[in-house]
């Protein structure tokens, strides 16, 4: 039952992604190994959207490590069905840290049986395009699993998630699968000097992940260059935009500032779906960490828009006619697309 639910959610989100994103491109899928076991290592800039994007684009069944405070309660069945595993942090209490060993033992078994895993090597989410220094957690886990299962290769798969906008729908997104790091290449160095072996593997993963990102480094031109990641430029081929962003004089377009007229139009085109927009706004207000706001728009929109349309249009069809119902439905869709375009073009 849980496996069927996992496959259903992946299929649903794969379909939904075609509408949520203006253009979703997946590059480098041929770099994903077809043998052994894979530990996917994406950057972590957009909360729950990140693992969902990897899970729906890698064409593999993946178990995911995530923060422990989301586990328990009424959502536990859903989390189990989506193959998520808890990771305990110091803020969860020192006693709970001991539970990590049980989780890691299960991860070693998964990788030893050629199942796939996902872990965020940055250690925490953030809202910047550049890659933060990686922790050794994913490298250590992959190495320990490799030592326990020498009969097949375990890989660290570099993944880059590049968002035109972190919070808003109908932006461009590019998922890049880069170089896969074979853990077997580092076993000899690790056995001679564990710290140096892990550091070398982590550094190789860092370089591979940086190759998958538009703006991988927080350098002296980062603050200037990130303004070029906007609706006018994100449709360019990945490598072309990445190369242009390296230059101080990139000749890329800057998004215009939102005019008063645009603001009026955005409010006007919000009216047909006003209940959903207000609902999402109130949900976002519950989260001080704005990195979660994109996830609320993504998952909340998936639920609230069909619910709003289904209830409202059924009432109209019952009281008036199917013709009026379909006409208003078309109005809702067109208004939503125009509203999102007006928002994105100024970002």
167 in the same domain as 43: yes
CA distances from 133 to 44, 45, 65, 182, 347 (A): 12, 14, 19, 20, 27
Is residue 243, in this structure, part of any structural domain at all?
no
CA distances from 288 to 49, 254, 283, 293, 310 (A): 17, 29, 11, 9, 31
Q: Show which of 217, 232, 248 is a domain's final residue.
A: 217
Is residue 227, in this structure, part of any structural domain at all?
no
149 in the same domain as 94: yes
The pLDDT of residue 66: 80
Q: pLDDT category, 193, cuts 50, 70, 90?
A: very high
The pLDDT of residue 265: 96
Is residue 225, in this structure, part of any structural domain at all?
no
The pLDDT of residue 75: 61
pLDDT of 90 higher than 60: no
The burial of 338, by beta-carbon neighbours within 10 Å (0-12 exposed, 13-18 middle, 19 or more buried), is given as: middle
pLDDT of 96 higher than 80: no
pLDDT of 333 higher than 80: yes
How far is the C-alpha of 22 from the C-alpha of 266, rounded, in Å? 18
Is residue 53, in this structure, part of any structural domain at all?
yes
Residue of higher predicted confidence among 344 and 78:
344
> How many domains does the chain divide into?
2
170 in the same domain as 107: yes
Q: Show which of 185, 217, 249 is a domain's final residue.
A: 217
Contact present, 218 and 241 (Cβ < 8 Å): no
Q: Average the pLDDT over 258-287 and give the result.
A: 95
pLDDT of 105 higher than 60: yes
- Which residue range forms the structural domain that includes residue 77? 2-217
Q: Average the pLDDT over 343-347 and give the result.
A: 87
Is residue 250, in this structure, part of any structural domain at all?
no
Report the CATH number that the domain containing residue 46 is assigned in CATH.
Answer: 3.40.1130.10
Is residue 47, in this structure, part of any structural domain at all?
yes
The pLDDT of residue 257: 87
Q: pLDDT category, 335, cuts 50, 70, 90?
A: very high
273 in the same domain as 186: no
The pLDDT of residue 185: 97
pLDDT of 149 higher than 70: yes
The pLDDT of residue 108: 95
331 in the same domain as 199: no
* Bridge partners, 62 (sequence order): 116
213 in the same domain as 264: no
265 in the same domain as 212: no
The burial of 97, by beta-carbon neighbours within 10 Å (0-12 exposed, 13-18 middle, 19 or more buried), is given as: middle
Q: Average the pLDDT over 230-235 and give the result.
A: 94
The pLDDT of residue 100: 79
The pLDDT of residue 93: 57
Q: Average the pLDDT over 118-140 and give the result.
A: 93
Is residue 188, in this structure, part of any structural domain at all?
yes
Nearest CA to 139 out of 159, 162, 155, 116 is that of: 155
Beta strands, E only, the chain: 23-27, 37-42, 62-67, 84-87, 116-118, 154-163, 172-182
């Amino acid at each position: 039952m849980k496996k069927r639910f996992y496959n259903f959610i992946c299929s649903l989100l794969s379909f939904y992604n075609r509408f949520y994103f203006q253009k979703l491109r997946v590059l480098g899928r041929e770099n994903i190994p077809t043998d052994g076991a894979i530990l996917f290592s994406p950057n972590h800039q957009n909360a729950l959207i990140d693992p969902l994007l990897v899970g729906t684009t890698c064409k593999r069944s993946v178990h995911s490590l995530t923060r422990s405070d989301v586990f328990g309660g009424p959502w536990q069945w859903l989390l189990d069905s989506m193959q998520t595993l808890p990771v305990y942090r110091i803020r969860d209490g020192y006693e709970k840290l001991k539970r990590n060993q049980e989780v890691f033992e299960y991860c070693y078994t998964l990788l030893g049986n050629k199942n796939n895993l996902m872990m965020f090597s940055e250690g925490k989410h953030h809202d910047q395009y550049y890659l933060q220094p990686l922790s050794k957690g994913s490298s250590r886990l992959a190495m320990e699993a490799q030592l326990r299962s020498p009969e097949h290769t375990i890989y660290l798969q570099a993944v880059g998630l590049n968002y035109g906008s972190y919070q808003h729908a109908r932006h461009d997104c590019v998922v890049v699968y880069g170089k896969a790091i074979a853990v077997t290449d580092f076993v000899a160095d690790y056995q001679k000097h564990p710290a140096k072996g892990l550091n070398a593997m982590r550094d190789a993963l860092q370089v591979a992940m940086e190759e998958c990102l538009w703006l991988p480094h927080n350098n002296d031109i980062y603050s200037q260059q990130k303004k070029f990641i906007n609706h006018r430029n994100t449709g360019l081929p990945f490598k072309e935009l990445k190369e242009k962003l390296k230059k101080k004089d990139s000749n890329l377009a800057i998004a215009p500032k939102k005019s008063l007229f645009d603001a009026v139009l955005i409010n006007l085109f919000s009216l047909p779906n006003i209940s959903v927009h207000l609902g999402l706004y109130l949900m976002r207000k519950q989260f001080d960490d704005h990195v979660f706001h994109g996830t609320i728009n993504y998952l909340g929109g998936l639920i609230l828009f069909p619910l709003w349309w289904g209830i409202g249009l059924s009432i109209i069809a019952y009281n008036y006619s199917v013709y009026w119902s379909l006409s208003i439905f078309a109005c809702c869709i067109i208004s939503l697309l125009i509203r999102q375009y007006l928002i994105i073009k100024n970002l």
